Amino acid sequence: MKVKLSLHNSAFIRKPREKEKARISKEIAKSQCTADIQEIAVKIGEEGHTFCPAVFREGERKDDKVIEMQLFALDFDEEAVFDDIK
């Protein structure tokens, strides 16, 4: 099954710092892709790509610019290990 989402092009090995979060958030809105759900799981869960389940109009991450959202995501921080969740 293929879905649309906003997926950052870079992988991260650590949680971004506050300064980086704003930049990444802006970049994500311009990074729409369509991919197979298994490929998305690897990109996000194993490779560390930041994402937003929505796609946006005009490359702006704002509520009134949302085109569609095909995913529902849960966010686990720090204590959760991806292999345990999987």
pTM of the model: 0.79
Q: According to the model, what pLDDT value does residue 64 have? A: 96
Q: Say how many C-beta atoms besides its own lie within 10 A of residue 28's C-beta.
A: 22
pLDDT tens for 12-35 read: 888 888 888 889 988 999 999 999
Intervals of the chain under pLDDT 70: 77
Secondary structure class of 24 (helix, strand, coil): helix
Q: According to the model, what pLDDT value does residue 84 have? A: 80
How far is it, in rounded angstroms, from Cα 66 to Cα 8? 17
